[in-house]
C-alpha cells in the first residue's frame, strides 16, 4: 500500500493507471452495488425531475389556469374557481366546429404525408443504390434546416394570385383550408418519411427474397411482410404530423385565409384578448385528443414496436 | 409623495406609480416606446423616414421601440412593464388606466402641449375624472380600400363590404380588420342604414344591437378571403390582388405600389382612432419619456409622424410643417365638425357610453362575438 501511495504522489501522469482508479472508485461502486434502490434513484432522478417539472407541472398549471376567469376591462386574472370556461367550450357551437375542423385538417395532413412518404421511403430503403440513398436522405433533411416561417411565407407567395401555382398552370386553391393542408403536409413531410424509412431499413432483404422464392407475388409480400413491419414507423410518423398540425397556428395565420383552428383560438385569447384562462381551457382540447389517440394506439400494440 | 419624488429623480422602483411627476430630473439616456407601426421611425425601414435620430441627438436619450399589431396585443405588452411610453388608441387607453398601467401626465412639463387643438385635449379617452393620462398624437379614420379594376364605379359607401349584392362580385377577396373592435364598423353602417335599431353610438350596443351587427358580419364572413391585423399581410394581399376591397389605414395604402389600389372615406363616416401618448406606471425612464412626449408633440416631429402614417396632426403649427401643404385639408385636421363624423375607438363597457339606461355589451362580449363571427 505504501508503494501505491507513493505512486499516486508522483504526479498526474501515473494516476491514470486503471488499477488505481478502480481502487479509488471502489467504495462508491460497492455502495451502489449493495443498494440497488440508490442506483435506480440516481439513474432516474434527473429525467424524473425533468418530466415532473416540464410536463406534469406545466400541465397542472394549465389545468389550474383554465379554472380561473378574467376581468374584461382591466384584464386582471380572477383566481376563484369556476368551470365557466369549460361551459363556454361545451355550449358554444364555435368551439365544436373549430375542434372538428382542426381534427379534419390534421387527419388530412397525416393521410397526405403517409401516402407520399411510403413510396419515397420504400425507394430509399430497398431500391436505391447506397449513393442515391444518401443523397435522398440529405434531400429529405435539407428542408428542416430552413425556418418554419420562411417555408410558410414561401407557400403564401406560391399560392397567391399570379403566384407560382397559378403561373405553372396547376391553379391555386387560394388561401383557405386546402392551402393549410398543402403547407402543413410540406412542412411535416420529413418527420413522416424518416421513421418510415427507418422501419423499412430494418426489414431484412433476405426476408423479401425468401418470400419471393416461396412464390409470393409482390402484392402479397407487401401486404403480409412489409406492411406489418412498417406499422410502427407509420404510426410514429402519423403521430408527428397529426399532433404537430393539431397545435399549429402560424401556418393558418399565413395561408389559412379567414379560417381559424384551435391554435388560433389559443393565440387570440392568450396574445390578443388577454383571456389566459380561456386560452388554457382551449389548449386542453388538443392535449386530451392526443392523449386519447395515444391510448387507442397503445391498445393496438403499435407503440411497443417503436 | 415620496414615491413621486423618487421616480422624478429617475431612481428605479418596481412599484407602479400612477401619480404625476412634479418636476423633471436628469435624462436617463434611454427610453423604450411601444407604438403602432409608423409612429417611431428611425430610418431603418426607409432611410428617408426618420424623426427619431433627431430626438436622440437633441436629448441623448436612445430610443428602443416595439410596434404592436392590435390594441389587445399592446395591453399585454404594456403589462410587461418594459415600456416607458405607449401610443394608445381610444379602445386601449381606458383599459390601461383602469388596470393601473398608466401614470398621470403633468402637462405643464410638456411645453408643446399648449399648441395642441383644444378639442383634442382632455378627451374621454385620455382623461378620467379630470385627471389627464396623456397627450394627443393625431387622429385618422379606418378607410375603405379597393382595387379600381374590381369596380365599375368607385365605391363611396361601406355597402361595398356589407351589402350582399356588392359583396358577390368580390367573393373571396374581401378583407376586414381582425379585431373585436371591427364590430363597431358594422354597427356604424347599421346606424346609418337601419335607424330602427336605434344605434346612437357604435361602441354602445345593447344585446339586440350587438346581435344585429354580428348577423351582418356573419353574412360578410361568407365573402371574406382573409382577415388582417398584420399590416404587412394586407399590403401583400392588395399588392397581388388576393384582396380587392376592405378596411385599411392610409399608411398601408402609402406602402402599396399597385397603382389600381385606392382609398376613400365612405359617406357614412368611419370608425377612427385618436391616439394618446401615455406614460407607463412602471416607467423606468420618466425624464426621457417626458422629453419624448414633448418632442413628438413639436410641430416638426408631429407633422412628420402624422403625415407618414396618414392622419391629422394635433396642432395648427404642425399643419404648417407638412411637406404636402394640403395634408391637413385632406385629413380635415382641426375640423371639429368633421371629427364628429368619425367614431373614435372606445372600449365598450357595461355602462352605455351614450348614456342610455340599459345594460350594454362589454369588450368581453365583443371578443366572444368576434370568435363566433369568424366561426
Contact (CB, 8 A) for B131 and B125: no
If you measure CA to CA, which chain A residue comes closest to B218?
A258
pLDDT at A132: 95
Cα–Cα distance between B277 and B125 in angstroms, integer? 11
Does pLDDT of B168 surpass 90?
yes
What is the pTM (predicted TM-score) of this model?
A: 0.81
pLDDT at A190: 95
Provide the shortest C-alpha distance from residue A122 to chain B (in Å): 40
ipTM, two decimals? 0.77
DSSP B50: B
pLDDT at A246: 93
Cα–Cα distance between B39 and B83 in angstroms, integer? 15
Q: What is the pLDDT of residues B108-161, one digit of tens each?
A: 999 999 999 998 898 888 898 899 999 999 999 999 999 999 999 999 999 999
C-alpha separations of B343 from A37, B136, B179, B203, B269 in Å = 72, 16, 16, 9, 8
With a pLDDT cut of 90, the percent of chain B lying above it is: 69
Grid coordinates representing A220?
A: 402479397
pLDDT at A221: 86
Range 236-295 of B in CB contact (< 8 A) with A: 236-237, 240-242
CB contact under 8 A, B375 and A94: yes
Residue B60 zone, left/alpha/beta (φ > 0; ψ -120 to 50; rest): left
Does pLDDT of B8 surpass 50?
no
If you measure CA to CA, which chain A residue comes closest to B101?
A74
pLDDT at A22: 56
Cα–Cα nearest to A252, from B214, B233, B66: B233
Does pLDDT of B72 surpass 90?
no
Does pLDDT of B9 surpass 60?
no
Tell me the mean pLDDT in the region B203-217.
96
Helix (H, G, I), strand (E, B), or coil: what is residue B140? strand
C-alpha separations of B277 from B62, B121, B293, B371 in Å = 18, 12, 7, 30
Cα–Cα distance between B185 and B203 in angstroms, integer? 9
Grid coordinates representing B89?
A: 388608441
Does pLDDT of B226 surpass 80?
yes
Which helix (H) or strand (E) segment holds residue B32: the answer is: strand B30-35
Q: Scanning the structure block, which residue is given the C-alpha cell 396574445?
A: A271
Q: Can you list the domains of chain B with their CATH numbers?
A: 4-138+274-335 (3.40.190.10), 143-248+345-374 (3.40.190.10)
**Number of other residues whose CB lies within 10 A of the CB of residue B240:** 15
Provide the shortest C-alpha distance from residue B97 to chain A (in Å): 8
pLDDT at B248: 95
DSSP B42: B
Q: Which residues contact A83 (CB under 8 A, 6 or more apart)?
A: A67
Cα–Cα distance between B77 and B159 in angstroms, integer? 36
CB contact under 8 A, B349 and A161: no
Helix (H, G, I), strand (E, B), or coil: what is residue B315? coil
pLDDT at B214: 97
CB contact under 8 A, A74 and B99: yes
Q: Cα A287–A110–A105 angle (5° rounding)?
A: 70
Does pLDDT of B5 surpass 50?
no
pLDDT at A306: 57
- Asked if the C-beta of A82 comes within 8 angstroms of chain B's C-beta atoms, the answer is no
pLDDT at A249: 92
pLDDT at A73: 67
Q: Which residues contact A193 (CB under 8 A, 6 or more apart)?
A: A116, A117, A120, A121, A124, A140, A237
- Count of CB pairs separated by less than 8 Å, A with B: 80
List beta partners, residue B264: B144
Helix (H, G, I), strand (E, B), or coil: what is residue B225? strand
Helices (H), A143-274: 148-159, 164-167, 177-201, 205-213, 218-221, 227-247, 250-255, 262-267
Tell me the mean pLDDT in the region B248-276.
92
Q: Which residues contact B218 (CB under 8 A, 6 or more apart)?
A: B372, B373, B375
pLDDT at B363: 85
pLDDT at A8: 42
Grid coordinates representing B29?
A: 439616456
Grid coordinates representing B302?
A: 408631429
Provide the shortest C-alpha distance from residue B313 to chain A (in Å): 28
C-alpha separations of B9 from B6, B24, B62, B287 in Å = 5, 7, 18, 8
> For residue B188, what pLDDT band results from cuts at 50, 70 and 90?
very high
Tell me the mean pLDDT in the region B76-84.
91
DSSP letters, B295-313, are: HHHSHHHHHHHHHHHTSB-
- Asked if the C-beta of A275 comes within 8 angstroms of chain B's C-beta atoms, the answer is yes
Residue A162 zone, left/alpha/beta (φ > 0; ψ -120 to 50; rest): left
pLDDT at B116: 93
Contact (CB, 8 A) for B71 and B318: no
> For residue B335, what pLDDT band results from cuts at 50, 70 and 90?
confident
If you measure CA to CA, which chain B residue comes closest to A153?
B233
Does pLDDT of B361 surpass 90?
yes
| A206-215, B28-37, B54-63: the lowest-pLDDT one | A206-215
CB contact under 8 A, B73 and A272: yes
Give every residue of chain A whose pLDDT is below 50, as ranges.
1-15
Does pLDDT of B317 surpass 90?
yes
Contact (CB, 8 A) for B29 and B63: no
Cα–Cα distance between B249 and B296 in angstroms, integer? 20
Query: CA A284, A285, A288, A291 torsion: positive or negative?
Result: negative
Helix then strand then coil, % of chain B, to nearest 5: 40, 20, 40
Contact (CB, 8 A) for B77 and B65: no
Q: Which residues of B58-73 are buried (b: 16+ CB within 10 A; e: fewer)?
A: ebebebebebbbbbbb
pLDDT at A28: 79
Amino acid at each position: 500500500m505504501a508503494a501505491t501511495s507513493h505512486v499516486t504522489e508522483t504526479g498526474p501522469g501515473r494516476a491514470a493507471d486503471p488499477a488505481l482508479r478502480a481502487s479509488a472508485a471502489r467504495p462508491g461502486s460497492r455502495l451502489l452495488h449493495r443498494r440497488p434502490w440508490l442506483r435506480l434513484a440516481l439513474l432516474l432522478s434527473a429525467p424524473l425531475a425533468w418530466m415532473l417539472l416540464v410536463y406534469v407541472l406545466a400541465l397542472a398549471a394549465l389545468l389550474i389556469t383554465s379554472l380561473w376567469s378574467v376581468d374584461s376591462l382591466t384584464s386582471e386574472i380572477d383566481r376563484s374557481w369556476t368551470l365557466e370556461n369549460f361551459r363556454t367550450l361545451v355550449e358554444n357551437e364555435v368551439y365544436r366546429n373549430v375542434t372538428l375542423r382542426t381534427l379534419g385538417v390534421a387527419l388530412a395532413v397525416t393521410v397526405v404525408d403517409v401516402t407520399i412518404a411510403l413510396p419515397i421511403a420504400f425507394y430509399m430503403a430497398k431500391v436505391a443504390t447506397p449513393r442515391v440513398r444518401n443523397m435522398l436522405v440529405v434531400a429529405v433533411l435539407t428542408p428542416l434546416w430552413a425556418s418554419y416561417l420562411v417555408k410558410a411565407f414561401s407557400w403564401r407567395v406560391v399560392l397567391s394570385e399570379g403566384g407560382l401555382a397559378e403561373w405553372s398552370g396547376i391553379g391555386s386553391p387560394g388561401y383557405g383550408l386546402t392551402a393549410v393542408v398543402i403547407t402543413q403536409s410540406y412542412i411535416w413531410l420529413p418527420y413522416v418519411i424518416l421513421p418510415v424509412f427507418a422501419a423499412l431499413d430494418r426489414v431484412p432483404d433476405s426476408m423479401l427474397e425468401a418470400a419471393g422464392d416461396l412464390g409470393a407475388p409482390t402484392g402479397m409480400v407487401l401486404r403480409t411482410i412489409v406492411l406489418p413491419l412498417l406499422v410502427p414507423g407509420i404510426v410514429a410518423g402519423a403521430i408527428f404530423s397529426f399532433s404537430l398540425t393539431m397545435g399549429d397556428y402560424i401556418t393558418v395565420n399565413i395561408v389559412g385565409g379567414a379560417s381559424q383552428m384551435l391554435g388560433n383560438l389559443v393565440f387570440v385569447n392568450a396574445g390578443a384578448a388577454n383571456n389566459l384562462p380561456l386560452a388554457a381551457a382551449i389548449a386542453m382540447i388538443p392535449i386530451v385528443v392526443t392523449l386519447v389517440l395515444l391510448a387507442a394506439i397503445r391498445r393496438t400494440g403499435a407503440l411497443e414496436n417503436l | 409623495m415620496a414615491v413621486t419624488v423618487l421616480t422624478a429623480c429617475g431612481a428605479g422602483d418596481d412599484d407602479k406609480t400612477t401619480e404625476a411627476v412634479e418636476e423633471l430630473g436628469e435624462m436617463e439616456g434611454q427610453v423604450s416606446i411601444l407604438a403602432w407601426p409608423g409612429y417611431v421611425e428611425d430610418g431603418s425601414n426607409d432611410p428617408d423616414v426618420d424623426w427619431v435620430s433627431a430626438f436622440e441627438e437633441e436629448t441623448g436619450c436612445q430610443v428602443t421601440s416595439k410596434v404592436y399589431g392590435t390594441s389587445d396585443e399592446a395591453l399585454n405588452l404594456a403589462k410587461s412593464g418594459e415600456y416607458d411610453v405607449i401610443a394608445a388608441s381610444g379602445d386601449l387607453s381606458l383599459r390601461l388606466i383602469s388596470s393601473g398601467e398608466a401614470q398621470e401626465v403633468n402637462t405643464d412639463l410638456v411645453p408643446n402641449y399648449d399648441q395642441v387643438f383644444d378639442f383634442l385635449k382632455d378627451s374621454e379617452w385620455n382623461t378620467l375624472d379630470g385627471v389627464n393620462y396623456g397627450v394627443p398624437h393625431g387622429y385618422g379614420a379606418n378607410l375603405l380600400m379597393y382595387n379600381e379594376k374590381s369596380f365599375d364605379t368607385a365605391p363611396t359607401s361601406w355597402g361595398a363590404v356589407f351589402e350582399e349584392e356588392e359583396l358577390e362580385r368580390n367573393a373571396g377577396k374581401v378583407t376586414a380588420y381582425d379585431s373585436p373592435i371591427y364590430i363597431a364598423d358594422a354597427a356604424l353602417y347599421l346606424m346609418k342604414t337601419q335607424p330602427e335599431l336605434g344605434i346612437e353610438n357604435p361602441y354602445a350596443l345593447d344585446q339586440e344591437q350587438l346581435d344585429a351587427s354580428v348577423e351582418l358580419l356573419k353574412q360578410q364572413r361568407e365573402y371574406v378571403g382573409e382577415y388582417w391585423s398584420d399590416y404587412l399581410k394586407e399590403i401583400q394581399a392588395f399588392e397581388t390582388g388576393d384582396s380587392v376591397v376592405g378596411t385599411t389605414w392610409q399608411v398601408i395604402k402609402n406602402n402599396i405600389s399597385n397603382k389600381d389600389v385606392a382609398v376613400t372615406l365612405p359617406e357614412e363616416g368611419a370608425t377612427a382612432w385618436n391616439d394618446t401618448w401615455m406614460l407607463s406606471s412602471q416607467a423606468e425612464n420618466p425624464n426621457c419619456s417626458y422629453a419624448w412626449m414633448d418632442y413628438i408633440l413639436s410641430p416638426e416631429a408631429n407633422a412628420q409622424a402624422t403625415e407618414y402614417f396618414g392622419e391629422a396632426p394635433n396642432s395648427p403649427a404642425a399643419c404648417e410643417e407638412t411637406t404636402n401643404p394640403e395634408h391637413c385639408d385632406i385629413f380635415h385636421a382641426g375640423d371639429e365638425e368633421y371629427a364628429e363624423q368619425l367614431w373614435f375607438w372606445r372600449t365598450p363597457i357595461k355602462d352605455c357610453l351614450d348614456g342610455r339606461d340599459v345594460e350594454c355589451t362589454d369588450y368581453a362580449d365583443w371578443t366572444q362575438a368576434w370568435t363566433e363571427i369568424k366561426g
